[in-house]
Structure 1
Amino acid sequence: MTAAPYASDPRRSRGRRHPEPESPTRSVFQRDRDRIIHSGAFRRLQYKTQVFVYHEGDHYRTRLTHSLEVAQIARSICRVLGLDEDLAEALALAHDLGHTCFGHAGEDALHERMAPFGGFDHNAQTLRILTRLEKRYADFDGLNLTWETLEGVVKHNGPLVDAQGKRRRGAGPLPVAILDYMGEQDLELATHAGPEAQVAALADDIAYNNHDIDDGLRAGLFQLADLRDLPLVGDVVAAVERQYPELERQRMAHEVVRRLINRMVEDVLGETARRLAALKPGLVEDIRHHGAPVVAFSPEMQAQDRALKEFLKARMYRHDRVNRMTSKARRTVRELFDLFLAEPDCLPADWARRAEGSGTPRTARLVADFIAGMTDRFAIEEHARLFDVSVHT
């Protein structure tokens, strides 16, 4: 499909923080995607989980499989809208790099411990990974990605500040990592991100809602019958049951999820087409400076999406089985942080050399970087090595 005039154009990219020769065979956004895929942080997503800890089963989603599913949905939407698929894919693959081990439980525990030192935010940590922590290239730290990719990572959920540079009520201060990077490169935090980043954000929403249904059913936390009263979901379940009354439970669940994803994608395409027709953007900047997202669910789908999220919160994320593992995960992260902050010599040697004594802000941020990079598996093993005297280090 011909690129839309308001799509992000790799030939007109605002460039990289550190100038370097570009590839003669790949666009700048393809190159960004490839650098993300080859990063250490991307590989670690294989053993970072969303809801279930890695050892609970091989068929549950990990951050890696989730990111691949988001990328597929994002590319499909961009193809229809005439947007840059490679930029959307890069953003989809990068969006979870800053997540800690143990999903949101790990992030909550790390943010709690980092509160005296500027807090912890997974989105800001993704920026930190992409611009500082990955150390693969001779001439710079980070991956040296394009402005458009970094902007999309930071702002895919909308502007971070208003036109006067103030945070919205209740949002809290800007994360330290974003403030630090703004001194080097202005990501224009008061505007919306480009359309590809907006697509990646909706693709993330579509993927994790539907795949949490799949994982929740697989884990037995709820049944298909429990979904019948939900708007949209209940209609799809009823339609599948009417068409395939004898279908086995697992295949029926997959058919329901497949149809739900399709319905949500079609809704995004329809609502976005309406918004584009009203705005008539001629350039990508018209979308960035528009006062509202251009890529969006319809109001009806937004309400159905909220209802599904409430169901998953009550029946899955707060299930007693999940709560017990969440409690263990929080304790693990807290105890690792407290030990490393008090005794930075317990860090691996290359990390310990960069510490500035126990309890200092620099050491705290170093410890947060180390723990945030842990997989579930490594965090469990490291905790055992440090706290169980019967485990040999």
Structure 2
Amino acid sequence: MPLAFPAPLAPYASKAEETRGRLHEEIESTGRTPFQRDRDRVLHTVAFRRLKHKTQVFVFNEGDHYRTRLTHSLEVSQIARAMARTFKLDEDLAEVVALSHDLGHPCFGHTGEDVLIEMMEGAGGFDHNAQTLRLLTKLERQHGAYHGLNLTWETLEGTVKHNGPMVGPRRVKDKPLPVAIEEYAERHDLWLDTYPSFEAQLAALADDVAYNSADSDDGLRAGLFSFDDAMDVPLLGPALHGSRKAWPDEPREVQIAEAVSALIGRMVADIQEETRARIEDLDPRHADDIRRAPRAMASFSDSFDAELKELRAFLFEHMYRHHKVNQVRSQARRIVRDLFELYVEEPDVLPPAWFDRQDGESIEKRKRVVCDYIAGMTDRFAIHEHSRLFDLSRNFL
């Protein structure tokens, strides 16, 4: 069976047959492209399965219909593939970057990450994007010949540079390069000073589309804010107004769904219009022309981005810092901090497989092992472990 490469693709698309390859050489499949194999490897990881019990805002047991990291990743993947198809890019590469982008998030979303950043200060730090790279290249074990998944250069590049260049004059954020990324780059040059592929840029924007629309949806359904609260908010307000006007006799849930659909449509339409204009201006002839461009090729327009910032500010105030969410965040902080301190002080309570990963008596290495262990936990498992280790009545009464 001949290898089926996607066609026809734009000249600036990533070409699977032109991949820069994998860190460890291996025989490629005759039935799947390298990017398709990458996607399949990610889908079969333990880390990907755990996303179903990792949440972004709500803890796992607060309701069955709120988004988890898994459902979010699937939504990002769908949006990324659709936009990649519009621009005649490699949909499989866009998909695998989308599916991978949240693998490094710990339990309890950004709350868990904040605690790990605090606990890892002076010990190499914590960054969820760098943790994703650790999972993909070191922590996941599916093959006997190497650690990690041995993904293609393009997939790892797109995942690491999720937010753009990390070093050099194009760098997006002026902060130190995470240790895990710095160490890996010494073995495998991912061009950290350039933008990622067009496919990866669209996957990053698909993330913005997915979480802004999903958080609006979840916040409304959870009653953290009302239709009236959001009516004057850019983007969300007009979508809600249009939904009410078009479907006045439909139940609230249907009006929310229609509004969220309209919100997604508006965001995607702006990306497509702005991105087409940037592509026409650059006139790229190869995928590397996208990487070396002076600015990102896939983007929201400036005016639309300003409206998005107002929507994010509204969601931050009315959802992410709602008192009900703050109460759960407070509990989550204590759980992660308690577990981290206990595992560092008494490493013999770690599971044997993790205890054996310690490298000598170095406290920094011990903290990294503990950090990797906790970062892989789901919300449910972290709650269970905290109860088991700190609630004596559970074990003895």
Sort the TM-score into its range (normalised by shorter chain): over 0.9
Describe the shift of the 1:208–1:108 C-alpha distance in structure 2 as closer, same or farther (beyond 3 A). same
TM-score (norm 2): 0.96
Paired residues of 1:130 and 1:144 also in contact (CA < 8 A):
yes
Q: Find the counterpart in structure 2 of residue 190 from structure 1.
A: 193
| Residues 110-125 of structure 1 aligned to structure 2 (within 5 Å) | 110-125=116-131
Please identify, of 252-261 and 359-368, the stretch whose mean Cα deviation from structure 2 is larger: 359-368
Count of aligned residue pairs for this structure pair: 390
Equivalent-residue separation in structure 2 for 1:252 and 1:168 (angstroms): 38
Question: Once the 2 structures are TM-superposed, how far is the Cα of residue 357 of structure 1 from its aligned partner?
Answer: 6.0
| Residues 1-393 of structure 1 aligned to structure 2 (within 5 Å) | 2-163=8-169, 171-356=174-359, 360-392=363-395
Amino acid at match of 1:329: A
Query: Deviations 1:4-44 (Å, cap 9, x if unpaired)?
Result: 00000000000000000000000000000000000010000
TM-score (norm 1): 0.97
Equivalent-residue separation in structure 2 for 1:358 and 1:46 (angstroms): 35
Unaligned runs of 5+ in 1: none
Query: In structure 1, the residue corresponding to 2:73 is in which secondary structure?
Result: helix
Question: Once the 2 structures are TM-superposed, how far is the Cα of residue 253 of structure 1 from its aligned partner?
Answer: 0.3
Amino acid at match of 1:45: L
Q: Find the counterpart in structure 1 of residue 4 from structure 2.
A: none
Please identify, of 308-317 and 261-270, the stretch whose mean Cα deviation from structure 2 is larger: 261-270
Question: Once the 2 structures are TM-superposed, how far is the Cα of residue 355 of structure 1 from its aligned partner?
Answer: 1.9
Question: Once the 2 structures are TM-superposed, how far is the Cα of residue 232 of structure 1 from its aligned partner?
Answer: 2.3
Equivalent-residue separation in structure 2 for 1:53 and 1:233 (angstroms): 24
Paired residues of 2:97 and 2:203 also in contact (CA < 8 A):
yes
Amino acid at match of 1:206: V
Describe the shift of the 1:119–1:381 C-alpha distance in structure 2 as closer, same or farther (beyond 3 A). same
Paired residues of 1:162 and 1:168 also in contact (CA < 8 A):
no
Question: Once the 2 structures are TM-superposed, how far is the Cα of residue 301 of structure 1 from its aligned partner?
Answer: 1.2
Describe the shift of the 1:296–1:168 C-alpha distance in structure 2 as closer, same or farther (beyond 3 A). closer
Question: Once the 2 structures are TM-superposed, how far is the Cα of residue 352 of structure 1 from its aligned partner?
Answer: 0.8
Describe the shift of the 1:97–1:48 C-alpha distance in structure 2 as closer, same or farther (beyond 3 A). same
Equivalent-residue separation in structure 2 for 1:83 and 1:344 (angstroms): 48
Paired residues of 1:136 and 1:143 also in contact (CA < 8 A):
yes
Query: In structure 2, the residue corresponding to 1:117 is in which secondary structure?
Result: coil
Amino acid at match of 1:124: A
Query: Deviations 1:256-292 (Å, cap 9, x if unpaired)?
Result: 0001101111111111111000100000111100011
Equivalent-residue separation in structure 1 for 2:308 and 2:356 (angstroms): 48
Query: In structure 1, the residue corresponding to 2:303 is in which secondary structure?
Result: helix
Paired residues of 1:384 and 1:391 also in contact (CA < 8 A):
yes
Query: Deviations 1:71-98 (Å, cap 9, x if unpaired)?
Result: 0000000001001100000000000000
Equivalent-residue separation in structure 2 for 1:197 and 1:248 (angstroms): 38
Equivalent-residue separation in structure 2 for 1:357 and 1:301 (angstroms): 53
Equivalent-residue separation in structure 2 for 1:312 and 1:2 (angstroms): 41
Equivalent-residue separation in structure 2 for 1:197 and 1:240 (angstroms): 32
Question: Once the 2 structures are TM-superposed, how far is the Cα of residue 139 of structure 1 from its aligned partner?
Answer: 0.6
Equivalent-residue separation in structure 2 for 1:392 and 1:27 (angstroms): 51
Paired residues of 2:243 and 2:256 also in contact (CA < 8 A):
no
Paired residues of 2:101 and 2:159 also in contact (CA < 8 A):
yes
Please identify, of 370-379 and 220-229, the stretch whose mean Cα deviation from structure 2 is larger: 220-229
Equivalent-residue separation in structure 2 for 1:249 and 1:268 (angstroms): 29
Question: Once the 2 structures are TM-superposed, how far is the Cα of residue 222 of structure 1 from its aligned partner?
Answer: 0.5
Paired residues of 2:165 and 2:172 also in contact (CA < 8 A):
no
- Percent identical among aligned pairs is 55
Equivalent-residue separation in structure 1 for 2:79 and 2:365 (angstroms): 39
Amino acid at match of 1:271: E
Equivalent-residue separation in structure 2 for 1:329 and 1:356 (angstroms): 29
Unaligned runs of 5+ in 2: 1-6
Equivalent-residue separation in structure 1 for 2:71 and 2:262 (angstroms): 19
Describe the shift of the 1:380–1:189 C-alpha distance in structure 2 as closer, same or farther (beyond 3 A). same
Query: In structure 2, the residue corresponding to 1:8 is in which secondary structure?
Result: coil
Equivalent-residue separation in structure 1 for 2:172 and 2:237 (angstroms): 36
Query: In structure 2, the residue corresponding to 1:374 is in which secondary structure?
Result: coil
Describe the shift of the 1:168–1:97 C-alpha distance in structure 2 as closer, same or farther (beyond 3 A). closer
Q: Find the counterpart in structure 1 of residue 3 from structure 2.
A: none
